[in-house]
Structure 1
Amino acid sequence: MTDKVRLDIPVLLPGVPDADACIERLARDLQARPGIEAAHVRAAEDGGPAQLCIHYDPGQLPLARIRELAQAAGAQITQRFGHAQWTLEGIGHQRRADTVAERLRQLPGVLEASANATTVHVEFDRERSSEQAILEALSSLGARPAAAKVAPAEPAHGTPGHRHGPGEAHAKGEHGHDHEGGLFGGNTEMVFALVCGALLGIGVAFDKWWDGAPGWLPLACFVAAYFFGGFYTLREAIENLKLRRFEIDTLMLVAAAGAAALGSWAEGALLLFLFSLGHALEHYAMGRAKRAIEALAELAPDTATVRRDGQTLDVPVEQLQVGDVVLVRPNERLPADGFVVVGTTSINQASVTGESMPVDKKPVDDAATARARPEAIDATSRTFAGTLNGASAIEIEVTRRSTDSTLARVVKMVSEAETRKSPTQRFTDKFERIFVPAVLALAFVLLFAWVVVDEPFRDSFYRAMAVLVAASPCALAIATPSAVLSGIARAARSGVLIKGGAPLEDLGSLNAMAFDKTGTLTEGRPRITDIVPADGVSEQELLRVAVAVESLSDHPLAVAIARDGRERLGNAAVAQASGLENLIGRGVKAELGGEQVWIGKAEMFGTDGVPELGAFAKEAIVQLRENGRTTMVVRQGTRDLGAIGLLDTPRAGAREALDELRAIGITRMIMISGDHQKVAQAVASQVGLDEAWGDLMPEDKVDAIRKLREQTKVAMVGDGVNDAPAMANATVGVAMGAAGSDVALETADVALMADDLRQLPFAVGLSRHTRAVIRQNVFVSLGIVAVLVPATIMGLGIGAAVAVHEGSTLLVVFNALRLLAYRGASKG
C-alpha cells in the first residue's frame, strides 16, 4: 500500500482578485499528477489564508516538485515548509546513500529525504527542525556539504529554503574526489581494500608455502585483512541495524563471521576483500557520472570584468549585481545571464542549450524595455552564464545574479533530479526490503540441513554462509540508480533537463505526444498577412487602434500586430491605451480615447458581456480562416473596425523532428491549438501531422490531455507558459526554450533548453536507451542471484560465489556508464 502524507500548505496569490478560483484550478492541476491522491481547498479560518491540502506519495512526487508546480501556477508557499539540498562529500555508493536518507527521515520534522552518491535533498517542517539540525545529523553520519563556491541564493519570491546544488559547490580543482575523512581522503576505501588483499595474499603464502612460519602468523594476517576489508562494511551494517534494517552489508558480515567461526579465515578474508574492492570500484565508477554534473558547474568563470563609475574592475562573479555592465573579451566564458548592449558576436551555447552551432548575437533594440521585461528579450540578444564568446568583444548587462543564472539553476535541478527515484528503483527498493530478510531466513533454515542430510554441521553452516553471499542483491541495489544518474547527466550535457527517474523512464515508454501549435510547431513569430477594415474604416485607423492596445501585451500574436502594424503605419502617431485586461485564451480588452476596445477571436464576441460581431466581420473571419489564417477582430465601442489575419510559419526542422519521433516508435502525434480548426489543420499538414484539434481554450487542452491519458501514456510538448496546466496533466510535460523561460523550467518534467524541437527525438531516444539499460541491469542482477543460490546450495564455495557476485555488481555499473557516451540520431 502506498504511503500517503497529508500536508496543509497555505498559498497566496498576490494581485489576483479571485484567489479561490485560482487555488481551485491549481488543486485540479495538481490532483491530475501521478503520485497525488487528492488535492483540495480548505476555506480560510480566523482571517488566515486559504489552505491547499495535498495527499501525496513522496516516492513518486516529492514536495519540492509540488512546490515548483505551485509556483509555476502563480502560488507562493509560505515559510513553514522548507527544503534543502547539498552536494555531499563522504557518500561513496548508493547503499550508503540509502542509509543516510533513512536516518534523516527518522529526524523530528523531516518530511522526506532522498540521497544518492552525490546529493542529498531534504523536505522539513521549519517549526520542528532546521537546516542546522539536519547538517549536524549528516555530519554524525560521516557526510558533509562540499565547500561552497558561491554564496547560497536568496530564496526566490518568498519561497523558503536554500538549494545548494553543484553550481554552488566545489571550488575549481576540487572536483573528481569525494574528500571523505580518513588517512587517504576519498581514496581511503580503495586503499583499505587493497591492503586487505595484500594481507590475504601474504597470509596464504605463509600458510601454504613457508613451512617454517609460526602458526600464528598466517592467522594474524587474515585477522588484519578482516579489519581492513570489513571496516566500511561494518560501519554500514551498524548504521542499518540501528535503523532495524537488514541490508546487503549485514549479510556479508554474517557470512564473513561464519567463515571465521568455521576456521576458514582465508575464505572470509577473500569475501571481504572482493566485497570491499567492489564497493571501492563502484564508488569510482559512480564518481565518473558525478563529475559529468560537476563539469557543468565549472563552466562559469570565477571573475568578471565590470564597468563601474567609469572604471573597469575585475570582481568575483558572486558580487555581480543586476544592472551591471560586463565586458566579455573574445574566447572568454560569459559570467552571468544578461543581454548584449554593445557589439556583435557568435556565442557557443552548447553548455546550456545543447545547440551544436554558435548562435549570432546582437545588441537589443531598446535597453530600457529589455531591462524592464527581461523575460521578453529576443534570443538573438539574450546571453547565458557559462557559454563561450566568439571572436568579438561584447558588453552585456546582467539580468540575474550568479546564483540565479540559468546554468546554476540547471545544475541544481539536475542534482535534485538525481535524488528522485524512478518506478523501477521504487520497485527494487521494495523488493530488497522483502528479499533480504527472506535470505536470512533461508540461511537460518540451511543451518539445520544436517538434520535432514547426512553431513556434519560444519558443512551445513558453510553452505548457509555461501547462500548469504550468493543471494545478496548488491547488483540489484545499484542497477537502476547508476543508469538514472548517467542518463540524466548525459541529457543535461546536451541541453535537455530531465527532472528525475520517473520522467526519464516514462518518456522512454511513450507512444503518443500532443504538441501545442504556437511557439512549438511554429516559430511563435507570426506576421500580419491580411488587413480587412470594415466599411467606412481606413486601414490606418484599424491599425492605430490595434497597435495601441496590443503594445501593452507580450502575447506572440500581440507582439506581431504591434511590430508589423508600426511598420505599416510608418511615422504615424499612435495613441496610448490603458487598462489592459487579458481574457485568457480569447483575447484582450483595454481603454482607448474613453472607449472600450476588444481584440481577439471571433468566439470572444457575443459572450460574457462582449458585444456580438456584425455581419461584415463574421464574413471576413470565415474568409480568412478558409485561407488558413489566424484571425483577430478589432472592435472599439459599438463599432467593428475590422479583422487582421496572421500567419505563423512552421519551425525549421519540425517535420524532420516528427519523422524521427515516428521512426523511434511514437505512433500517435496530435497538435492541439486554440486557433480555429481549419487554421490548425493547415499548420498540421505543413509539419506532417495527421491529427489537429483546434478551437481549444486552456481548460479544453487540459481535458484533451486527460482524455488521451486515459487511453495511453502521453507527453504534452509546449512552451511552458500557457501550456502549464496541460503539461501538469500529461504523463510527461515537455517544455521548449526553457533556457529563456523561468516558468518552463519550473513547470516541465522535461525541459529542452534550446528553442529547437530537434532535441526531442534525442531526449526520447536517450530515455528509451536508459530504460533498456535498466532492464538489462535488473535481469542480470536477478539472473545472477537465481543461478548462484542453487549453485551454492549444491556446493559452490564462498570464494567462487563472491567473485561472481561482485563481478555482476561491477558489470551493471559499467553498463550504466555507457549512457554517458550515448549519441542518438540528433546529437553528433
Structure 2
Amino acid sequence: MNTSTKIRIDLPLVLPDVQGDHDHCIARLNAALLGRPGIEQVHIKSGEANTPVLCVHYQPETISLQRVRELVQAAGAELTAKYGHLSTRIERALHARSARALADRLRAVPGVHEAEVSPSGAVTVEYERALVSEEALRSVLSEPGAVPSAGASSGTNTAAPAQHIVVPNKAERHDDHDHAGHDHGERFPHPEGKEGDHEHAHGGIFGENSELIFASVAGALLAVGWLIGRYGSGPDWLPLGCYIAAYGFGGFYTTKEAVENILARRFEIDTLMLVAAVGAAALGQWAEGALLLFLFSLGHSLEHYAMGRARRAIEALAKLAPETANVRRDGQLVEVPVGELQPGDIVAVRPNERLPADGVVTVGTSSVNQAPVTGESVPIDKQPVPDPQAAIASFDRVPAEHRVFAGTINGGGAIDVMVARRAEQSTMARVVKMVTDAEAQRSPTQHFTDRFEKLFVPSVLGLVALLLFAWVVIDEPFVDSFYRAMAVLVAASPCALAISVPSAVLSGVARAARGGVLVKGGAPLENLGTLSSIAFDKTGTLTEGKPKLTDVVTATGASEPDLLAVALAVEEHSDHPLAAAVIAGAKERLGNQPKAVASHVKSITGRGVQAMVDGEQVHIAKPVYFTENANAALPKDVDDANRNLVEQGRTTMIVRKGAKFLGVIGVMDTPRPVAGEVMAALRGLGIERLIMISGDNQQVADAVAKSVGLTEAKGDLMPEQKVVAIKELRTKHGKVAMVGDGVNDAPAMANATVGIAMGAAGSDVALETADVALMADDLSQLPFAVGLSRSTSRVIKQNLWVSLGVVAVLIPATIMGLNIGTAVLFHEGSTLLVVVNALRLLAYNDKLGGKTTASDSAQVKS
C-alpha cells in the first residue's frame, strides 16, 4: 500500500514576490507540481513559526525527497523569473471612473495579466517579465493623460512611488526548508527623485481646492445671471455674459479631463457632460448648460474630496511613528533615524513620547496608549520582560504587559525598549501595507456595478443616437429631438453609480483601520455586513485563554504529590495553554518537594501527550483517549471523578503511569468578562446564530456556551473536524464568519466566508491569514467590526437604490419632455447624496456598555 509523506517549505523562499495565498502564482505553482508522478497534493498552510508554507504530499516510493525539493525550487524559480508583481500608489485620489480607466489602460499593456487601481490611488499589477518591465509599467503611469488631472486632487507627482513596505517572514528555518536559488532584494524599487523626471501639477492656482473654487464661482455667476434675467435689472447682454463666464469656470476642468480622455482614446462620462452642455448652448439654453457644468464640476470636486478624505484617514496611520529614536550606545543616548534601528537596539522612551519601534520593555514601568494600533481606549500597563533576547526572538508570543508597538504613546513613566523588528516590519507598517492592498480589491457589488456600466453606457449611447432622429418619425423640429437627446444623455449618465460603492468601501475600510480593525478589502467588509452566523473558537477567544488548575482527584492507591510530580515533569515539555495551567498549579501545590524527570515526550494529536517517567510510559490525555483504547479502560472511581468535574464545567485530563491510573486533573478557563455583553450586542445587530466550536469535551463547551449566551456549542472537535463543522454551517446557513486567534484556527478560518483573528497586533500569521483582524485581544471590538460592516452594506444598498432609481425615473421623464435643468438637478443631486452618505461611515461610532469601542476616545498627540 502506498504511503504519503509531506514536506513543508517556506513560501517566501519559493516565491519571494508573493505575499498572499490568493495570488495567481500559487495556482500556477500547484499546477506545475501536481502534474509530476508521485506528487499527490500541494497546498498552502500556516507554519509553526508564523510563516506561510508550501505543503507538498508525495509518495517516497515514486519520488525522492531531494527530487521534490529540486522540483519545487525549479518551479518557484521559473515562476519568479517569469512573473513580476508591482505595487505602487498614485500620489492623489482618483475618481472611480478614472481609476477604472487606468486599470483598463494597464491591462491593455501586452504582458499584464491583472491590474487593479483604487480610487484612493493604490495600484497593483501582475505582469510577465519577458513581455513588459516594471519600468515600462511605471512609465505608463507617468504618461500625460494616463491619470486624468483634477483640481480637487492633491500631490504633485502623477505616479510617484509609494512607501513600499516589504515584510520578510521571520520564521524559524527547519531542515526541510529550501534556501537556494532566489533573490531576497527589495521587492519594489524606490527610485530617487521624481519618477521619470515627470512632474504634473494638479492643484491649479488655488491649490487642491481649485476645482471647488471654480465650481463655486460658476454657481455664483449662474445665480447672478438668473437674477438679472428674471428681474430685468441690467442690460440684456449681461445675463448671457454671466452664463458664458459660468461655462468657462464650470467647464474648465471638465474640458481639460475630456481632452485628456480623447487623447487617450477614451470616451468617458466627463465627455458626455461636455457634449450635453455644448448642445444646450447650441440650442440657446445657456442657463441650463451652465447649471449642468456647475453641478457636475461641484459633484466632481466633492467626489475627489470624499476619496481624498478616506485616503488621508489611512495615510494618517503611516505618520504615527516618530522619525527619530534615542538609542543607548556606549552609555550615551544617540538620536538616530527610525529606519536605522536594528533588532536588539535599546531605545529610551520619555513620558508622553511615541514609541519608535515594536519591541519589549527592558527597564521601567508605564502605561501605554495603544489605541493607534489596537483601538483599545484604555492604556495598557507595561513592565520589564525577564529575558529580552528570548522575547524578541518570539515576539508574537510575548505577554501584552511586556510588548509595545511603534506609533503607540507612552504614558507617565520613562521606559527602555529593546527593538524586536525593523521599522518596515513593524505592526503599524504592516497594517498600512495591508490596508493599502485592500483599497485595490473591489467588492462583489463593485464588480456588479462595473459589469452593469459596461452594458448600460453603450445602451444609453444607442438610445441617444436613436432619439436624435426622432424628428424623422414624429412631427417635431430637429431642435426638439436634439434637446430631448441631450436631456436623456444627462439623465442616464451613471455618475452616482460609479462613485456609490467605492466611496462606501473606502470609507468603511478607513474607519475600521482607525478603530483598530483591519479589513482586507471590500469583499470581507460586505460579507461580514450581510451574514447571520458567527462561529467562535473557545480557548483564548470566548475565554481568557489562561486556564487555572482547580481540581486534583487521585485514584485509589495514588497520592496527590505523585500525580502532580508526574504531570509537572511531562507538561513542562509542552507549550499548550492547559499545560501552562498544570505547571503553575503543580509548582504551587508541590512547593519544595522532589521533582520527577520526563523523557521521550510525544504529542498525541488532539488527545494529549505521552512520555517516559522513571522507566514507565506516562499518558496525560483527554478521557476520550482512554475510551478509544480497549486496553486502557477507566477504573470506576476515576471515571466517576471525571464525570463529576465535567459536569462542573472543568476541562479534565486523566493521568496514567504504566498500567496504573493516578487520577484526574481539572482545569478551568473562565469566560472573558465582556463575552456575554458582546453576544447580546451581536444579537442586537442581527446575528441569529452564535456557535462555539471547540476541542474541549461537549459538557465544557455547553457550560461555557450557556454562561455567555451562545445559541449552540460543538465540542470534542479535532482541527480537521472544525473545518468540517464550518463547511456544514456554510451549507446550512450560507455565509458564516469564524472568530479565532488566527494560528490554531487558521484552517477553519480559511474555510469560513470571513475569517476574523483576535489579538492580531504583533502576530504575523494572524495578520496573514485573517480576512478581518481585530488588532487588540479584545472581544468587544467584534460588535464594532460587525456594526460598521452592517452600516457599510446598508450605505452601499442605499447608494445603489438612489443612483439606479434616479436614472430609472429620469430616463423616461426626459423622453417625455423633462427639461435639462431639472434633469441636471436630480442627476447631480443624486451624485452628491451618495458621496455624503458614504462619508457618514468615517464618523461611525459604536458603543458597547456605554464605552466607545474604537480609538476615537483616545487623545492622539503629535
Q: With structure 1 as the length reference, what TM-score do the two structures score?
A: 0.84
Structure 1 pair 792–162 and aligned structure 2 pair: CA distance change class (3 A): farther
Counterpart of 2:9 in structure 1 is 14
Q: Distance in 1 between matches of 2:213 and 2:406?
A: 39
**Cα separation, partners in 2 of 1:69 and 1:765, compared to 1, 3 Å:** farther
In the alignment, which of 796, 804, 816 is matched to residue 782 of structure 1?
Answer: 804
The answer as to whether partners of 2:34 and 2:42 remain within 8 angstroms in 1 is: no
Question: What is the alpha-carbon root mean square deviation over aligned residues?
Answer: 4.1
Instruction: Call closer, same or farther: CA 1:686–1:192 in 2, change over 3 Å.
Output: same
Contact 1:135 1:144 (8 Å CA) reproduced: no
Give the residue type in structure 1 aligned to 2:498.
Answer: A
- Which residue number in structure 2 is paired with residue 731 of structure 1? 753
Contact 1:150 1:169 in 2 (8 A): no
Q: Identify the match of residue 805 of structure 1 among 806, 813, 827.
A: 827
Q: Which residue of 2 aligns with 1:116?
A: 118
Q: 1:137 aligns with which of 129, 136, 140?
A: 140
**1:425 aligned onto 2:427:** no
Note if contact 2:85-2:125 (Cα within 8 Å) is conserved in structure 1.
yes
Q: How far is the alpha carbon of 1:266 from its aligned partner?
A: 6.3
CA contact (8 A) 1:153 1:162 kept: no
Q: 1:228 aligns with which of 245, 248, 252?
A: 252
Name which of 507, 532, 550 aligns with 1:486.
507
SS in 1 for 2:53: coil
Counterparts of residues 337-356 of structure 1 (less than 5 Å): 337-356=358-377
Deviates more, 1:802-811 or 1:790-799: 790-799
1:237 pairs with 2:258 = no
- Determine which of 601, 621, 635 is the counterpart of 2:642: 621
What is the number of equivalent residue pairs in this alignment?
780
Tell me the distance in 2 between the aligned counterparts of 1:576 and 1:652: 38
**What is the deviation of 1:637?**
5.6
- The structural deviation recorded for 1:72 is 6.4
CA 1:618–1:308: 2 relative to 1, 3 Å: farther
User: Which runs of no fewer than 5 residues in structure 2 stay unpaired?
Assistant: 1-5, 12-19, 56-71, 148-156, 172-181, 194-199, 853-862
- Cα gap change, 1:535/1:813 in structure 2, threshold over 3 Å: closer, same or farther? same
Q: Please name the residue that 1:682 is paired with.
A: 703
- Distance in structure 1 (CA, Å) of the matches to 2:523 and 2:587: 48
The Cα of 1:100 is off from its aligned counterpart by 1.3
**Residue 251 (structure 2) pairs with residue 248 (structure 1):** no
Write the letter of the residue equivalent to 1:107.
V
Query: Is residue 446 of structure 2 the alignment partner of residue 443 of structure 1?
Result: no
Instruction: Note the alpha carbon deviations across 1:642-677, whole angstroms, 9 max, x for none.
Output: 432110011011011111111222122111111111
Q: 2: distance between equivalents of 1:121 and 1:661?
A: 35
The worse-fitting range, judged by mean Cα deviation, of 589-598 and 90-99 is 589-598
**CA shift for structure 1 position 71:** 8.2
Whole-angstrom distance in 1 between the partners of 2:484 and 2:836? 31
In the aligned structure 2, how far is the partner of 1:714 from the partner of 1:770?
18
Q: Secondary structure at the match of 2:673?
A: coil
Q: CA deviation at 1:189?
A: 4.1
1:318 aligns with 2:324: no
Which of 46, 53, 57 is matched with 1:74 structurally?
A: 53
Q: Which residue of the partner structure matches residue 385 of structure 2?
A: 364
SS state at 1:74 partner: strand
Identity %: 57
Tell me the CA shift for residue 600 of structure 1.
Answer: 2.9
Give distance in 2, aligned partners of 1:96 and 1:773. 22
Work out the CA distance in 2 between the residues paired with 1:489 and 1:252.
Answer: 31
Contact kept? 1:436, 1:472, Cα under 8 Å: yes
**Residues 440-499 of structure 1 deviation map (CA, whole Å, 9 limit, x = unaligned):** 011011011112222111221121112111110101111111111111111111111122
Q: Deviations over 1:733-763 (max 9, x none)?
A: 1111111422222222111111111111121
1:62 corresponds in structure 2 to none
Distance 1:605 1:151 in 2: 51
**Aligned partner (choices 515, 522, 529) of residue 508 of structure 1:** 529
State the Cα deviation string for residues 302-358 of structure 1 (Å, max 9, x = none).
Answer: 111111232211111111111111111101111111111111111111111111111
Please state how far the C-alpha of 1:785 moved relative to its aligned partner.
1.4
> What is the SS of the residue equivalent to 2:632?
coil
Aligned positions of 1:600-611 closer than 5 A = 600-605=621-626
Q: Which residue of 2 aligns with 1:767?
A: 789
- Amino acid corresponding to residue 417 of structure 2 in structure 1: I
CA distance in 2, matches of 1:200, 1:448: 31
1:796 match: secondary structure: coil
- Alignment partner, residue 538 of structure 2: 517
Match of 1:98 in 2: 100
Partner of 1:63: none
> What SS does the corresponding residue of 1:13 show, helix, strand or coil?
strand
1:587 and 2:590 aligned: no
Contact 1:41/1:51 (<8 A) preserved: no
The equivalent of 1:708 in structure 2 is 729
Moved more, 581-590 or 426-435: 581-590
Does residue 815 of structure 2 align to residue 793 of structure 1?
Answer: yes
Whether 1:306 aligns to 2:327 is yes
Matched, 1:651 2:672: yes
Q: Contact 2:243–2:290 at 8 Å: present in 1 too? A: no
Tell me which moved more, 555-564 or 630-639.
Answer: 630-639
Which aligned pairs between 1:364-443 and structure 2 lie closer than 5 A?
Answer: 364-443=385-464
Asked if the contact 1:193–1:228 (Cα under 8 Å) also holds between the matched residues in 2, the reply is no
Tell me if structure 2 keeps the 8 A contact 1:482–1:817: yes
Q: Which runs of 5+ in 1 are unaligned?
A: 1-10, 17-28, 55-65, 172-177
Question: Per the alignment, do residues 288 and 67 of structure 1 end up closer, same or farther by CA in structure 2, a change over 3 Å counting?
Answer: farther
- 1:670 touches 1:690 (CA, 8 Å); kept in 2? yes
User: Is residue 482 of structure 2 the alignment partner of residue 461 of structure 1?
Assistant: yes
Distance in 2 separating the partners of 1:68 and 1:218: 69
1:237 alignment partner, SS class: helix
Pair 1:556-2:558 in alignment: no
User: Hey, what's the Cα distance between the residues in 2 that align with 1:151 and 1:775?
Assistant: 35
Q: Give the superposition deviation at 1:87.
A: 3.3
Q: Is the 8 A contact 2:727 2:752 kept in 1?
A: yes
Displacement of 1:281 in angstroms is: 2.0
195-204 or 474-483, larger mean C-alpha shift = 195-204
CA distance in 2, matches of 1:425, 1:412: 22
Pairing partner for 1:720 from 732, 738, 742? 742
**Counterparts in 2 of 1:484 and 1:605: CA distance versus 1, 3 Å:** same
In 2, Cα distance between equivalents of 1:387 and 1:523: 24
Q: Tell me if structure 2 keeps the 8 A contact 1:93–1:116.
A: no
Per-residue deviation, 1:528? 0.8
Within the alignment, does 1:825 sit opposite 2:847 as a pair? yes
Selected match of 1:281 from 280, 297, 302: 302
3-state SS, counterpart of residue 754 of structure 1: coil
Aligned residue identity for 1:75: L
| Aligned counterparts of 1:156 and 1:261: Cα–Cα separation in 2 | 67
Mapped to 1, the partners of 2:757 and 2:516 lie a distance apart of 12
One of 629, 632, 641 as aligned partner of 1:612? 632
Q: Aligned equivalents of 1:316 and 1:239: distance in 2?
A: 45
Per-residue CA distance 1:492-538 (angstroms, 9 max, x = gap): 11111122212112112122211111111110000111224455554
CA contact (8 A) 2:361 2:382 kept: yes
C-alpha distance in 2 between matches for 1:536 and 1:570? 22
Q: CA deviation at 1:640?
A: 4.4
Q: 1:346 to 1:215 in 2, by over 3 A?
A: closer
Q: Which moved more, 1:792-801 or 1:334-343?
A: 792-801
Residue aligned with 2:524, SS: helix
Q: 1:598 Cα shift?
A: 4.1
Alpha-carbon spacing, 1:701–1:480, altered in 2? closer, same or farther (3 Å): same
